[in-house]
Structure 1
Amino acid sequence: MMYGARCLSIHAILSVLSSVLAFGVVQHEDSMLPLGARGPGTIAFSSEWQAVGPFQIGTREATWNADPLEQYGGFRQLEYDTNSFFRSSIAMNGSVGWELVAATELSNNITNARCALSFSFPSVDWPFISTVYGWAGFQYQAWARGEITVSGTETTSLILYTDQILEFWLDGEPYFGGDFYTYRKAPPVLHLEPGTHRIDIRLVRDVRAMGGIGEPTINVVLEMRLCTNALERTRESILISDNVNGRLVSPYASLSLRNSHPESAIKITRVQSSVNEITAELLHDEGLIIAPGQTRPISFSVSLNSRNATIINARVFYHLVDEENFESSLSVTQQLRLRSTYDPQKFTFMHPGGIVSYTIIRPPARNASCDFNQDSLPVLLQFHGAGVEAENDMVAHSLDPVADLCSWVLFPTGITPWSGDDWHAWGFADVEAAVASIPEWINHTNWEGSAVNIDRWIVSGHSNGGQGTWYALTHIPDKIVAAAPVSGYSSIQNYVPYHLWHPMEPRRYAVLQAASNDYRHELLVENGRGIPILQQHGSIDDNVPAFNSRLMSLLISQAGYSTNYVELPNRNHWFDTVMTTDALKAFYRASVKLDTVSSKLENFTFVVSNPGTMGSKGGFQVDHLEDPGQYGRIDVQVSFQRCEYRVRTSNILQFRYLGSACSNPAFIVDEEEITTDCAGIVCSTLYFSRNTAEKRWQFSGTTPQIPSRFGKQLGAMDAILRSKGPFIILYEEDSAYPTAVQISRNLYQYFSADSEVTKDLEKKHMSTGNVITISTGQFPPRSDNRHPIQQIGDTLSVRDGSGEWHKYNDEEVPAAIFLQDVGDDSRLELVIWGKDSENLMTAARLVPMLTGVGQPDFVLLGKSSGLKGVEGAVAMGFFDHMWNVTESSYFS
């Protein structure tokens, strides 16, 4: 990437040189680094747009592309023609043509422009389609074309907001990711020459994001704003803890900044406060680099030197990477929110991904009447629904009617209002980190009240949070005291059925579905045995139908235990006291007195979808599956009197026992008695592994056998999100830079994740975070050549589970994406490869971003992928614990 100089007048240059000679470094009080002058003029959107559609698409299929217009080279190759028609499976007479759509709102001026568009395609009989296919029939795709006009005499730097748009093309360049949930956190930075610029937007209607009630319209907003400074703050305020009794309850703070410079990276050197009452310090020891067009969260610490401080002032110092002597600064001032000790309050902490997150914490009330004998109290977790911030009063104060509850209460964020990824890999890591941070709050506030037991969880949540409750219950059952999913959906696939995807071979579909095994709660219900569960749902819920809760209640009864299921007559999805109905209040009060029960069960089953995300049940934890593309299962019968554990397994390669076994425990695994060498001592954490060659189990000792792939590396492609530190995004060719920045932007937009974009390959082994490597032409260098996906010349070869090599030239497979080991620790690397920059973007679409897409460990994309989606994949599947391709993988 070329790093250019900023634009300064001759007078300014002479002034700067004079200052450098005198002082060495130029520092301006709140000085901003300008982008340079631009001539007078306006930025404007066209008032009329040309549209083609609608076409069929399935739930979350757009990530795989599956665009019928790719048959004609893509919408970008088509020109408006009223005589042209295109085949569509959902339109009358099976075809659609061009139509003109006028903007419903339009404003254009010198500094900003805004265009709102509404698409409904009334010629389609939507009620009939939905009668057959339900909400899936309200999902469709289309394309629309408009223009951006830039007048004046100079290149204009601007940001482009794309509300509820997933993909667009500008002047023939693709942008994937957009801003599907209207976060407005990381808009792309554009540098446009004077003139007219064509913009093509892909319209994708998604019921989960846009609703399933009423007319199935797509309403999108495009907005441009002029950039005036090289470093700009996003619209977000400083993320900082509340001020409780004159002190911040946590020192961690964060501010998000965007580099709008067209060429040069910017280095953040330090953060200071300009008032004596506050001390601020950057948490990045060597500073932090923001690449051109990138948005990054800047983490820093804050302490109050006065109990009377009510305002925080943070001043960020920075310079262009090649101009260390020209330092500028940016200041942000914000009112501190005041709270008392027992109020719900914002508490910041460090997410495993190296960013500052927050939770709303409510300590046990002074008047809590705990009529039971416990040294420490459990944690009651309340997961919010989609699109809601945890600090919103409707969440933070939803449990005010039970303010005297004998528990610690947390309202986690899951990182974003859409909870990162539905409380899964990224979002659930936030939950675990929030709970683990409660002792920090206790120490920081000098708390003298009841202690906390961070291993006893009562989980509850509403809507998407209800689904998150099912996730916690089924994945870490030994920590769960009780669970109350409220108005929650049973799984992503059940919420809006996966009808109307482009037809695909059943084995491809099997791999696609298996990639989401970890989130099929209806297949994991056996894991909840012994745990008290209260389900609550409104009978006329038109957002998450009560079918979801009824189904889970049915499946739980078929699993041999039961839930207390409360269906509220004539109640919809949300009402003010939905989380504190009489049934729920009684459930909370009863649950805080309970302890975990799994260790007391005499027989139970543990169904394992992904050992990398699942804890233990009854003290048994699975470390590895034989084939991670299939579920594993452990059935346990316990005789406490004889200290005997009878275990039957299916698709299990290695497991451990974490309980407090007696001094001479007996383990009988698949009818074979295993000697544990524990005679005369009390054993805990015992490891058992299966010798696949001899097809028998053996005791592995009290320390694990670490294979090539383990722990947080396990899972489908979204395992890359379980990063211990900021992501490193590596690129070698300058042509790959736009893709690198786009991935960085998407990670921040949808997860608030931090990433460093760099060409320095040494950074791969100098960081703690997972790596995303982008390459065109040749694969990036590897530390070893044992990976089953290899490249020799223009041939890609994949070794399947039987050892056979499948070979494809780069015409057959022009793009690929796959996981591999970094080579030096437990980190992961996601390799994104394309034979050229256009195909590189095709593979980059599959970087985990939206939930429910179903990305397995590796995908080799064929030349028809743009048109056919998953059906265009030539090979796809999973890697086992030794990075070998599993038998459940697919090859064409």
Structure 2
Amino acid sequence: MVPLAQEGNPPFSVSFSSAWQMLGPFQIGTREATWGADPLEFFGGFRNLQYDQEARFRSSLAISGTVGWSLLEGETVNSNAFGSSVSLAVNFGTAGVPLQSIYGWAALQYQAWARGQFSTDTEQDWPLIVYSDSILEFWIDGVHYFGGDFYSFRKAPPVIRLGPGEHTIDVRLVYDVRVGEANFNIAIELASGSLEVVSKGIVMADVLDGSLASSLASVTVRNNKAQDLEILSVEPALNDSATTVMRKSSVVISAGQTRPILFDVTLGDPSTPSIGIRIQYRQVKPASFPSFLEVSQTLTHRSIYEPHKITYLHPGSILSYAMLRPPSKKAIQGSNKISTFPILLGLHGAGVEADNDMVAHALDPVPDLKTWVLFPTGVTPWSGDDWHNWGFADVEAAVNYIPKWVEAVEWQGPGADIDRWLVMGHSNGGQGAWYTLTHRPSKVIAAAALSGYSSIQNYAPYVLWQPMDPQRSAIRDGTLNSYRHELLMENCKGIPILQQHGALDDNVPTYHSRLLSQLLLQANGTSRYYELPDKGHWFDGIMTTPPLIDFYNEQTGKTLGDQELQSFSLVVGSPADTGSKGGFRVTQLETPGQYGKVDVVFDEATATYRVTTSNVLSLEVDDRRFPSGLFLIIDGQDYHELGGPLRLQEDKVDLWRATDGQWKVDNKQPNLLLRSGRQLGAMDAILRTSGHFSIRYQRSEASGIALQISRNLYQYFSADAAIVETRKQTDHAPGNVITVGIGGDVHAGAHPFFPIELSSSGLSIREPGGRMREHGGGGGLSAIFLRPLPDERLELVVWGVNKASLAVAARLVPMLTGVGQPDFVVMRQDCLWKGVEGAVAMGFFDHEWNVTKTAVLR
């Protein structure tokens, strides 16, 4: 598409002022900004403060305890006929340095605010795109934008419309040591047409010796108009007669929204160098005649034995990709089609795409491993959410696609054993390797963790969050239980592990690998630990050092090791995240937000498995793992024969602790009143959607928040969402639902006895004892909470007593990792400066969707 300025329209220009007013630094904890925790909100917010050289503000990071206004010179990076950008290089000198010896990197993090002006020269309000690199939130002419672009993805910027003249922009500067340098960039550009292709054009698989590795493709578009647009079809371009493109269902893209469009591609000519598609769309209201947008894409042709791009469907109904290298001709010599090789999973570090050569070709020095080499992307360069919930679902989707790849390219070599993984990762991917080890121990045959951190809380400690009482702190920490690998090391017993870390690493300190090595030993696990002198965080060949090459060759021929374990333990932070070990899987915890544990000891003399549990409500036992004649004693109470009459289904036994404490065969069927499966966990359980999200709002006042949530979901997860205005409880889409409401507009949930009830004047919560606790709407009351839908689906309710308080609740919709949102949070405006301490109620729901006794109910 041709930019508007080139279509005969009047000239357009935008320019930033060079002088910026700044106020800071102020204390901020790791990932705390989502909760508010902005001390200037106590004074009504930075947007309501005027520059005053004499004014002083209290700050725990400043010498003598106060800070004042200062001036910062913004550097214009680029300016042309289509827009302009400015860079703010912030340096507070020694602020935080004296504290670093006590608090480490946490003391170097800070927040501040900066105010600048920009002017637009135009005869009308053309749509403008606002990029906000490394920025979480900002205000333009008094309008709030939360979410920003913390990782500088530039995937889903806001579309705004401004008239000519001067405009004010207030920017919150949050420095997070995990993200990088303290450089903040803002760019304002003229939008290109009504419907604009964004990101990478068409994302599709590589062509392998004449065959597409996979037919699924995607193109992401942004609606720059002030009206909704409907995608009617995706067809081959008019000049491309050799390509077949199929997309039958229509898609509505709300005004200002970014959405990915899926379609299937078939190549008539395998040697074609490129393809072209034509997107047919129209305005929804008032209906317009169709328009067309053509997009072309150069195809990448590779040999089937090279690392190449495959595409597949993520559970969230979006396209994702991975880089796959099947076994080489030499590796498969002597094997046949019924043979199977394990999967070598390579998890990349933060900010790196899987198709980058440094990732995709990292194992080129070992071309003949008897394994399928797979480099997932985790959906985004930051792997969705640090290879956890959303990102790990992508890993499993990539693994599960390999058998379909075998069919698509008519592979004649040995198959892939998708239940045997050798996992390897570097940096954030090294942390991802620990996550895989501790959450899928029955699938991992071996693991190599390279320069990985132990957990986000340990990497950049949470000690400088705003003060909160211990109960609130415990709830916040409980939401992150699944990601504290230091406390999950017992799950690694019996799995060969290699640790490698550069001794000069100034990104992830060697402390993390040393600590986990020690904790592994104490958990009766083992690892080979290599600390490389004179090496830093990254160096060429880091994934193929001599110890690693030996390890890969040694481990690829092995089978699962936990079948031979005579004793082991399984520690569970969330049953939804954690698979089985030794045939045992926890399916429910008694008290969510606390760890559950299963200890198993096999007594050969009596052919008995003696199982002891802690904080476990239900268990699944894989009956295929145990021959008939073996027995199970659980918590010294029940005595069952495995492989015998206990069996409920063909391959597993479900056990449930009854109210009298006795373990019984589970006859419960999944239903709306019981929380199970994908619904378990903290608020980020909403990310376990099976299908795209539906964001529903009940009145036009809430439409801006609905759009903001959609934009953030795509920015940080590449997630797709349909925005729908409805006053009904529609339940037609297969995915999870986010309901955005004000006052009494929110409909009743599907659960008839749900403990949180909303009204136009406030809300009520049913306490564990049954008493209803009322919260009036004063002080800007708002809430965000999960509630159930059929088929293990979830609804996330985002509610405020008015529009302003709704924006406070919307901040907590899962977006960044490590924020720590429990199942429900009720707050007032003072959380904007108090942070977590400002929550008037927060906690978890149990297996029957009741509020647990551990909740804060002020």
Which TM-score band applies after superposition, normalised by the shorter structure?
over 0.9
Deviation at 1:888, TM superposition (A): 1.9
Deviation at 1:739, TM superposition (A): 0.6
CA distance in 1, matches of 2:645, 2:658: 27
CA distance in 1, matches of 2:432, 2:581: 18
CA distance in 1, matches of 2:311, 2:179: 28
Q: In structure 2, what is the equivalent of residue 669 of structure 1? A: 634
Which of 182, 207, 224 is matched with 2:188 structurally? 224
The verdict on how the C-alpha distance between 1:874 and 1:280 changes in structure 2, with shifts beyond 3 A counting, is farther
2:134–2:150 CA contact under 8 A, matched in 1? yes
1:191-210 correspondence to structure 2 within 5 Å: 191-210=161-180
2:82 pairs with 1:111? yes
Question: One-letter code of the match for 2:153?
Answer: Y
2:98 pairs with 1:132? no
2:655 pairs with 1:708? no
Task: Name the SS for the 1:698 alignment partner.
Answer: strand
CA distance in 2, matches of 1:717, 1:108: 42
Deviation at 1:569, TM superposition (A): 1.2
The verdict on how the C-alpha distance between 1:803 and 1:674 changes in structure 2, with shifts beyond 3 A counting, is farther
Q: In structure 1, what is the equivalent of residue 562 of structure 2? A: 598
1:409-424 correspondence to structure 2 within 5 Å: 409-424=373-388
Q: In structure 2, what is the equivalent of residue 313 of structure 1? A: 276
Deviation sequence 1:324-362 (CA, Å, 0-9, x none): 551111111121111001000000011110011000000
Which of 25, 32, 43 is matched with 1:61 structurally? 32
CA distance in 2, matches of 1:339, 1:643: 54
Task: Name the SS for the 1:58 alignment partner.
Answer: coil
2:545 pairs with 1:581? yes
CA distance in 2, matches of 1:640, 1:459: 32
Q: In structure 1, what is the equivalent of residue 484 of structure 2? A: 520
Q: In structure 2, what is the equivalent of residue 388 of structure 1? A: 352
2:632–2:642 CA contact under 8 A, matched in 1? no
Deviation at 1:147, TM superposition (A): 1.3
Which of 80, 92, 98 is matched with 2:51 structurally? 80
2:58 pairs with 1:94? no
Q: Identical aligned pairs, as a percentage?
A: 48
Task: Name the SS for the 2:53 alignment partner.
Answer: coil
1:265-414 correspondence to structure 2 within 5 Å: 265-276=229-240, 278-283=242-247, 285-322=248-285, 324=287, 326-368=289-331, 375-414=339-378
Task: Name the SS for the 1:867 alignment partner.
Answer: helix
1:712-723 correspondence to structure 2 within 5 Å: 712-723=678-689
2:29–2:462 CA contact under 8 A, matched in 1? yes
Which of 156, 165, 174 is matched with 2:126 structurally? 156
Q: In structure 2, what is the equivalent of residue 52 of structure 1? A: 23
The verdict on how the C-alpha distance between 1:155 and 1:527 changes in structure 2, with shifts beyond 3 A counting, is same
Comparing 725-734 with 42-51, greater Cα deviation is found at 42-51
Task: Name the SS for the 2:601 alignment partner.
Answer: strand
Task: Name the SS for the 1:208 alignment partner.
Answer: coil
The verdict on how the C-alpha distance between 1:393 and 1:59 changes in structure 2, with shifts beyond 3 A counting, is same
Question: One-letter code of the match for 1:811?
Answer: G
Deviation at 1:700, TM superposition (A): 2.5
2:764 pairs with 1:797? yes
CA distance in 1, matches of 2:433, 2:643: 38
The verdict on how the C-alpha distance between 1:243 and 1:31 changes in structure 2, with shifts beyond 3 A counting, is same
Q: In structure 2, what is the equivalent of residue 857 of structure 1? A: 823
1:487–1:538 CA contact under 8 A, matched in 2? yes
The verdict on how the C-alpha distance between 1:411 and 1:678 changes in structure 2, with shifts beyond 3 A counting, is closer
1:834-873 correspondence to structure 2 within 5 Å: 834-873=800-839
2:245–2:266 CA contact under 8 A, matched in 1? no
Deviation at 1:778, TM superposition (A): 1.8
Task: Name the SS for the 2:442 alignment partner.
Answer: helix
2:76–2:86 CA contact under 8 A, matched in 1? yes
The verdict on how the C-alpha distance between 1:145 and 1:305 changes in structure 2, with shifts beyond 3 A counting, is same
2:728 pairs with 1:781? no
Comparing 426-435 with 753-762, greater Cα deviation is found at 753-762
Which of 158, 182, 185 is matched with 1:188 structurally? 158
1:234–1:258 CA contact under 8 A, matched in 2? yes
CA distance in 1, matches of 2:727, 2:262: 24
CA distance in 2, matches of 1:157, 1:687: 57
Which of 154, 168, 175 is matched with 2:138 structurally? 168
2:808–2:829 CA contact under 8 A, matched in 1? no
Deviation sequence 1:450-494 (CA, Å, 0-9, x none): 111101111110000000000111001111111111100001101
Q: In structure 1, what is the equivalent of residue 574 of structure 2? A: 610
Question: One-letter code of the match for 1:376?
Answer: T
CA distance in 2, matches of 1:524, 1:326: 59
What root-mean-square deviation, in Å, do the aligned CA atoms of Structure 1 and Structure 2 show? 2.1
1:542-581 correspondence to structure 2 within 5 Å: 542-581=506-545
Task: Name the SS for the 1:185 alignment partner.
Answer: coil
CA distance in 1, matches of 2:127, 2:165: 14
Task: Name the SS for the 2:290 alignment partner.
Answer: strand
Task: Name the SS for the 1:238 alignment partner.
Answer: strand
| TM-score between the two structures when normalised by the length of structure 1 | 0.93
Question: One-letter code of the match for 2:101?
Answer: T
The verdict on how the C-alpha distance between 1:152 and 1:282 changes in structure 2, with shifts beyond 3 A counting, is same
Deviation at 1:44, TM superposition (A): 1.7
Question: One-letter code of the match for 1:786?
Answer: F
Question: One-letter code of the match for 1:186?
Answer: A
The verdict on how the C-alpha distance between 1:706 and 1:76 changes in structure 2, with shifts beyond 3 A counting, is closer
CA distance in 2, matches of 1:819, 1:36: 48
CA distance in 1, matches of 2:635, 2:566: 17
CA distance in 2, matches of 1:551, 1:789: 42
1:556–1:562 CA contact under 8 A, matched in 2? yes
1:38–1:152 CA contact under 8 A, matched in 2? no
Q: In structure 2, what is the equivalent of residue 536 of structure 1? A: 500
Q: In structure 2, what is the equivalent of residue 699 of structure 1? A: 665
Q: In structure 1, what is the equivalent of residue 227 of structure 2? A: 263
Deviation at 1:704, TM superposition (A): 7.5
Deviation sequence 1:204-235 (CA, Å, 0-9, x none): 00000015xxxxxx211111111241101114
Deviation at 1:817, TM superposition (A): 0.3
CA distance in 2, matches of 1:542, 1:643: 52
CA distance in 1, matches of 2:377, 2:98: 39
1:663–1:680 CA contact under 8 A, matched in 2? no
CA distance in 2, matches of 1:688, 1:705: 17
1:764–1:771 CA contact under 8 A, matched in 2? no
Q: In structure 1, what is the equivalent of residue 775 of structure 2? A: 808
- Runs (5+) with no aligned partner, structure 2: none
CA distance in 1, matches of 2:362, 2:792: 40
Task: Name the SS for the 2:744 alignment partner.
Answer: coil
Deviation sequence 1:131-159 (CA, Å, 0-9, x none): 22211111000000111212232112110
Comparing 697-706 with 760-769, greater Cα deviation is found at 697-706
1:450-529 correspondence to structure 2 within 5 Å: 450-529=414-493
2:739–2:796 CA contact under 8 A, matched in 1? yes
CA distance in 2, matches of 1:887, 1:630: 12
1:227–1:260 CA contact under 8 A, matched in 2? yes
CA distance in 2, matches of 1:369, 1:566: 31
Deviation at 1:268, TM superposition (A): 3.8
The verdict on how the C-alpha distance between 1:875 and 1:680 changes in structure 2, with shifts beyond 3 A counting, is closer
Deviation at 1:703, TM superposition (A): 7.7
